[in-house]
Structure 1
Amino acid sequence: MTLALLFPGQGSQSVGMGAALADAFPSARSVFAEVDEALGQNLSQLMREGPEDQLTLTENAQPALMSVSVAAMRVLRTEFDFDLAKATYAAGHSLGEYSALCAVGAISLADTARLLKLRGQAMQRAVPVGRGAMASLIGPKTDLALAEEAAKAGSEVGVCVVANDNNNGNVVISGDKAAVDRAIEKAKELGARAIPLNVSAPFHCPLMQPAADEMATALASATIVAPSVAVVANITARPETDPEVIRRLLVEQVTGRVRWRESMEWMAGEGGVTRFAEIGSGKVLTGMAKRIAPDAESTALNTPEELEAFATSF
């Protein structure tokens, strides 16, 4: 068995996430307390009690999702003696790449929290509200080629690119609102369904360059060491362990495409992964894994019971 650990991205947040872990395990509470201290913010209370509209804000959702993922990993290791060496790869969707890097020791928890807080704020500052948009192209005819054709049509009136290649049947486009609207029309002509996303900014497109510049400055002074488990990067869809390469790719990731389908295909194929475990909040990546790599086992680990069952399965 070859194991890969997966870490969810924005959209998986929900009020109450992490509460069961905090109630059950001191190790989880210590993670949430450390994040609160690093940010100078009672993020753990916001996660537990809401309100949802505040938790959903990008600058809160990003460090919150990371903290739940890292808390779950700490519970696995501290409470259930899970050996991280059992994993061959780790990967995270967009902000989840930071969760993965923190979980495997490449970036400290406090630094990861601060970087993600800044990342969320910088992404929000990069584009005035209302100028940008994102849309999910879905349906059996939807694949990367269809999405790129739709984005090409959109780019005739503004910035429009493929932002997230999640899996066949689910590809996200991003850019100027007028351009995304044009791309939606084209996608429908090509046989896809198109759903505008309720997001505060057009992530993973060239309009995010001001945010990438901010992150380049912040990451230049951040301490990054070689991870204990290779992290499959969104930008390359390949495992990376060199700290300087990781630093550069985290900057490129702000404007670049999340190559999730390719990452999963590489892990399930050349990487030989037979078991995927999604660590943290929600089951979004588990659903994608089952579609991309149906022959592999895929499990979401959200609750104390799920974590215990997973740890004792080795």
Structure 2
Amino acid sequence: MRAFIFPGQGSQSVGMGQALAAASATAREVFQEVDDALGQRLFRIMGEGPPDELTLTQNAQPAIMANAIATLRVIEREGGVRLADKADYVAGHSLGEYTALCAAGAIDLATTARLLKLRGLAMQAAVPVGQGGMAALLGADLRIAQIIAEAAAEDDVCTVANDNDPTQVVISGSKAAIDRAIGLAKDHGAKRAIALPVSAPFHCPLMQPAADAMGAALDEARIEAPLVPVYANVTAAPVTDPDTIRRLLVEQVTGMVRWRESVLAMQSAGVDRFVEIGGKVLGPMVKRIAPDVDAISVVTMDDIEALVRDS
């Protein structure tokens, strides 16, 4: 069994999508459709930067999605490998869950782009710059991370944001609490704690204003049943019902990304091959979670051709 998976924020880089667009009219169509939906030249920012403009979360989120969907469309239309025929499940990390839903036909491309633009803007507006933070705890599992977060919180917000794999968990909250957590990390069993260069504390209760904004937007968005089940970040379980998908996407804004559990759940369901589309972050993460599975990352035309040959 096979799962197609889609990366989250942090996988953006200036130049992304350029080689794909140069080689494929299908990819160019995707990037143009996203530009038209947003009313901005996002593909130019993806290609030329500057890096700080691409890194802005309201640009990075739709850009990462567009790059992954362009890759998938080339696989499907030019390689003849259709997701509905070859994937048993889809999943995505944080914003990648929207990409997964788009890939599986639950949300159309233009709507996905607009939702992610709004998601980025709402997340940035939820907490003033400098008042929140995130940190990666390396050499720490979920239990250790929860102990560190609880010890650091005091009267502030500090919670686990991303349970990525057995060796990396990300915490999020007020800057004061995150600073305390970094200082406490080694004493509580983590090998290292690194402050992340983010502009907002994602996936924690401080994001409630953004969750409210996404709730209103998702109420108006058309969501269909996906072609294959989507593993939701906040439940680490498959979902197909549109109303449930809508609710879980709202919960995801403030909730923990249960990526490690999602991969293990897919493995337990029979998935033995994970195909990351449009990034090179999740494939290695999957191998740290489930060493016995096959995990590949598909980014370039050469990667696409290799996937098509193997399919």
Q: TM-score range by the shorter chain?
A: over 0.9
Query: What is the rounded CA distance, in whole Å, between the counterparts of 2:166 and 2:272 in structure 1?
Result: 20
> Among residues 143, 146, 156, which one is paired with 1:145 in the alignment?
143
Query: What is the rounded CA distance, in whole Å, between the counterparts of 1:157 and 1:168 in structure 2?
Result: 28
CA contact (8 A) 1:232 1:238 kept: yes
Query: For residue 104 of structure 1, what is the aligned residue in structure 2?
Result: 104
Query: What is the rounded CA distance, in whole Å, between the counterparts of 1:157 and 1:170 in structure 2?
Result: 25
Query: For residue 310 of structure 2, what is the aligned residue in structure 1?
Result: 313
Counterpart of 1:6 in structure 2: which amino acid? Answer: I
| Residues 144 and 137 (structure 1), Cα distance of their counterparts in 2 relative to 1, 3 Å cut | same
CA contact (8 A) 1:90 1:232 kept: yes
Query: For residue 39 of structure 2, what is the aligned residue in structure 1?
Result: 40
- How many angstroms does 1:180 deviate by? 1.2
Query: For residue 94 of structure 2, what is the aligned residue in structure 1?
Result: 94
- How many angstroms does 1:184 deviate by? 1.9
SS at match of 1:226: coil
**Residues 225-257 of structure 1: per-residue CA shift (max 9 Å, x gap):** 000011100010011100000000000000000
**Residues 172-201 of structure 1: per-residue CA shift (max 9 Å, x gap):** 000011111122222221131100000000
Query: For residue 290 of structure 2, what is the aligned residue in structure 1?
Result: 293
CA contact (8 A) 1:10 1:65 kept: yes
Query: For residue 235 of structure 1, what is the aligned residue in structure 2?
Result: 234
CA contact (8 A) 1:60 1:120 kept: yes
**Residues 250-284 of structure 1: per-residue CA shift (max 9 Å, x gap):** 00000000000000011112x11111110013x11
Query: What is the rounded CA distance, in whole Å, between the counterparts of 1:185 and 1:145 in structure 2?
Result: 18
Is residue 28 of structure 2 the alignment partner of residue 21 of structure 1?
Answer: no
**Residues 109-130 of structure 1: per-residue CA shift (max 9 Å, x gap):** 0000000000000000000001
- How many angstroms does 1:83 deviate by? 2.2
CA contact (8 A) 1:157 1:178 kept: no
SS at match of 1:91: strand
Counterpart of 1:290 in structure 2: which amino acid? Answer: K
Number of aligned residue pairs: 309
SS at match of 1:122: helix
Query: What is the rounded CA distance, in whole Å, between the counterparts of 1:67 and 1:57 in structure 2?
Result: 15
Query: For residue 124 of structure 1, what is the aligned residue in structure 2?
Result: 124
Query: For residue 4 of structure 2, what is the aligned residue in structure 1?
Result: 5
Query: What is the rounded CA distance, in whole Å, between the counterparts of 1:266 and 1:78 in structure 2?
Result: 30
Query: What is the rounded CA distance, in whole Å, between the counterparts of 2:79 and 2:47 in structure 1?
Result: 24
SS at match of 1:276: strand
TM-score normalised by length of structure 1: 0.97
Query: For residue 156 of structure 1, what is the aligned residue in structure 2?
Result: 154
Unaligned runs of 5+ in 1: none
Counterpart of 2:138 in structure 1: which amino acid? Answer: I
4+ residue stretches of structure 1 with deviation over 4 A? none
**Residues 271-307 of structure 1: per-residue CA shift (max 9 Å, x gap):** 11111110013x1101101101111111000001101
Query: For residue 64 of structure 2, what is the aligned residue in structure 1?
Result: 65
> Among residues 256, 270, 273, which one is paired with 1:272 in the alignment?
270
Counterpart of 1:96 in structure 2: which amino acid? Answer: G
Query: What is the rounded CA distance, in whole Å, between the counterparts of 2:137 and 2:55 in structure 1?
Result: 22
Alignment of 1:178-257 (within 5 A): 178-192=176-190, 193-257=192-256
CA contact (8 A) 1:159 1:176 kept: yes
The CA RMSD over aligned residues, in Å, is: 0.7
TM-score normalised by length of structure 2: 0.98
CA contact (8 A) 1:36 1:44 kept: yes
Unaligned runs of 5+ in 2: none
Name the % identity.
Answer: 63
CA contact (8 A) 1:107 1:223 kept: yes
Query: What is the rounded CA distance, in whole Å, between the counterparts of 1:296 and 1:168 in structure 2?
Result: 15
**Residues 11-66 of structure 1: per-residue CA shift (max 9 Å, x gap):** 00001111111011111000000000000000011101111110000000000000
In terms of mean alpha carbon deviation, does 122-131 or 149-158 score higher? 149-158
- How many angstroms does 1:158 deviate by? 0.3
Counterpart of 1:304 in structure 2: which amino acid? Answer: M
